[in-house]
Amino acid sequence: MTHWKPSAPLQNLKARAQLLSTIRGFFAEREVLEVDTPALSHHGVTDRYMRSITADVGITALGQSSAIAFLQTSPEYAMKRLLAAGYGSIYQICKAFRQDEVGSRHNPEFTMLEWYRLGFDHWQLMDEVYELVTKVLGPKQRLALSYQQTFIEFLDIDPLSITDEALEQFARSNLGLLPEDLERDDYLSLLFEDKIEPQLGRNDSVCFIYDYPASQAALARISEVDSRVAHRFEVYIEGIELANGFYELADSRQQQARFEADNQWRKENNLPEISIDQRLISALEHGLPECSGVALGLDRLLMIQLKTNNIQDVIAFPWDRA
């Protein structure tokens, strides 16, 4: 047995401890409450592009017909229940889990920082993300582009108006051999990841991409000015996706409809349907306060801080040593 030792050197784990201390100090100064929610839940996410890791807990409770539970892909649902219950602005440092994610920037188990700010829209939250990131990494230039501007600047196509047929032809001519069963958002995502993402946040900058297509809204509000886009943003440094944030959708009926649409897509594509978390829906019905939220990958932030390209350098026991 040769892999019993940790993959991260001691100095990197010390840097990790200091990073956590810095983050807690950052939120303490702003009187944002640290919370803790379950990593194991009765419900997974319906997101068509994300696969939850499941566990057989061997018990049933509260009328549940199955003993299968889900390890959280993020603490979002539970934290929104706290928001609806009146707990105010909150943050959490926790483990999150995603299936089929292993690589130089991915581990099935990773550390996430997620926080929600009452009374903030996504623009104000972007300001705070920038403050936190530069507190950790030092001064950096701030850049911001809409999703539409990004495609126009880097690829000379408009992702909001290009036809499905033209988009498919463009993607196939620029990305090479692709599966035949792809949809519009698949082509956009592949083009973004391959042709645009590696160029973002270069030259000592922090790059914010905002106004994602409404079809990629997830749990974000749709813009009242342009219904083609959602109030969602992502953050990139050194070509690495670091954070994903929303001006949070508070309408329970819209959220239920999005979950149902996800499950209909799953059914049509021979994927298992995911039981909708009705506790979250009930919380939204009770009333989610005006807020914005963001999830930030702490392992990746530490990678950037330490100038390493491998996630194994910043976690003690990655999957191959767990």
Whether 39 is covered by a domain: the verdict is yes
Whether 26 is covered by a domain: the verdict is yes
Whether 177 is covered by a domain: the verdict is yes
pLDDT of amino acid 59: 63
307 closest CA partner among 75, 12, 43: 12
Whether 3 is covered by a domain: the verdict is no
**Sign of torsion, CA 52 99 201 132?**
positive
What is the C-alpha separation between 21 and 44, in angstroms, rounded? 30
Contact 296, 20 (CB under 8 A): no
Q: pLDDT tens track of the chain, all 322 residues? A: 678 999 999 999 999 999 999 999 999 999 999 999 999 998 999 988 888 899 888 765 555 555 789 999 999 999 999 999 999 999 999 999 998 767 889 999 999 999 999 999 999 999 999 999 999 999 999 999 999 999 999 999 999 999 999 999 999 999 999 999 899 999 999 999 999 999 999 999 999 999 999 999 999 999 999 999 999 999 999 999 999 999 999 999 999 999 999 999 999 988 889 999 999 999 999 999 999 999 999 999 999 999 999 999 999 999 989 8
Whether 1 is covered by a domain: the verdict is no
What is the C-alpha separation between 57 and 189, in angstroms, rounded? 35
Instruction: Identify the CATH number of the domain in which residue 250 sits.
Output: 3.30.930.10
Phi, psi of 157 (to 5 degrees): -135, 150
> Which pair of tokens denotes residue 306?
């330490």
Whether 76 is covered by a domain: the verdict is yes
> Which pair of tokens denotes residue 53?
């890791």
Whether 4 is covered by a domain: the verdict is no
Q: Which residues have C-beta within 8 Å of that of residue 220, sequence separation ≥ 6?
A: 122, 212, 230, 231, 232, 246, 247, 248, 249
> In terms of pTM, does the model score above 0.85?
yes
Number of domains in the chain: 1
What is the C-alpha separation between 42 and 70, in angstroms, rounded? 6
Residue 117: give the domain boundaries: 10-321
Which H or E run includes 124?
Answer: helix 122-137
pLDDT of amino acid 66: 59
Whether 284 is covered by a domain: the verdict is yes
- pLDDT digits over 18-33, tens only? 999 999 999 999 999 9
pLDDT of amino acid 167: 98
